[in-house]
Amino acid sequence: MSRRALVLAVLTGAALLMTAPVSGAAQAAGISSADASAAHSATAGFQDVLVRFFAQAPDAQGPVTVQIEPDAHPVYELSPDFVAGKANATPGDFAYFAILARASDGRTATLWSVRGADGTWQIGNIASGDVEAGYARKLLAGAQLLHEPQVDAWYAVRDGRVTSLSDGTAVTVDGYQRTVEARYADKLPGSLYARDGEAGGYDSTSQVMPRGDGGPAPSGHDTGWLPLLILVGVLAVSGAGYVLHLRRHPA
């Protein structure tokens, strides 16, 4: 294996490590402007990763430069406590800050900045498109951007009302709670639905999930080790190949 191939393998492993999803269990409910600033700071030095992200896309046309937008949009995911009807539960739990990146050819991607168990902010995922930023631009002041991932629906929560950002229909928070309770209350952790593994049930520990798949949240799992194992595997295979190359072609 050539040195070039070894470097590419290491970069690929590092990219997988940096873009792997992070469990929603690590997310905190309360956020502030200081959190938004810290979350955005996690994007520092990510231009190179984004350049590779765009270059690997099926519609890539050539080299691009990337600009990361200054706004960090807070995104909330439907709360299992709200679905279960617990007292004082809010419709959404904070999931991540969405930060838009623009390529010089017009394509967009969204960085998900999440807070880990140690309190530091990190980039947990890169998603194609500008879904979150597009919906955030529709919000009135003081509104919360809420995602119902099981059906990939987006809402504005404000003044006791939940408004669909796709068609503008609005219901009271109580009305929305009754709707999601009917949809998901029998799919919460511990339910027969969840124990039987039907479509994964409704997961209260993996709120952050790839958007737009239209299915229920995946079953509880810790993704923290997966990217590390991938990286270790890549490094091990690459290192063994490079050692073999040196043995066959001594300097």
The string of DSSP letters for 172-194 reads: EHHHHHHHHHHHHGGGSTTSHHH
> For residue 87, what pLDDT is reported?
85
pLDDT tens string 19-60: 333 323 233 346 899 999 999 999 999 999 999 999 988 878
> For residue 221, what pLDDT is reported?
27
Which tokens sit at 245? 């190359």
Distance CA 155, CA 167 (A): 10
**Percentage of the chain lying above the pLDDT 90 cut:** 54
- Tell the burial category of 12 from Cβ atoms under 10 Å away from its Cβ (0-12, 13-18, 19+): middle
> For residue 27, what pLDDT is reported?
35
Which tokens sit at 144? 């919360």
Beta bridge partners of 186: none
pTM of the predicted protein model: 0.67
> For residue 38, what pLDDT is reported?
97
CA distances from residue 79 to 140, 180, 199 in whole angstroms, order as listed: 22, 10, 18
Tens-digit pLDDT string for the chain (251 aa): 443 333 333 333 333 333 333 323 233 346 899 999 999 999 999 999 999 999 988 878 888 999 999 999 999 999 999 999 998 899 999 999 999 999 999 999 999 999 999 999 999 999 999 999 999 999 999 999 999 998 999 999 999 999 999 999 999 999 999 999 999 887 765 554 444 444 444 444 333 444 432 222 222 223 333 333 333 333 333 344 433 343 444 44
Angle at the Cα of 38 from the Cα atoms of 33 and 39, rounded to 5 degrees: 95
Is the CB of residue 100 less than 8 Å from the CB of residue 69? yes
pLDDT tens string 226-237: 333 333 333 333
Is the CB of residue 203 less than 8 Å from the CB of residue 14? no
> For residue 185, what pLDDT is reported?
82
Scanning the structure block, which residue is given the tokens 């063994």?
Answer: 240
Helices (H), the chain: 3-19, 33-41, 47-55, 80-83, 131-136, 173-184, 192-195, 225-248
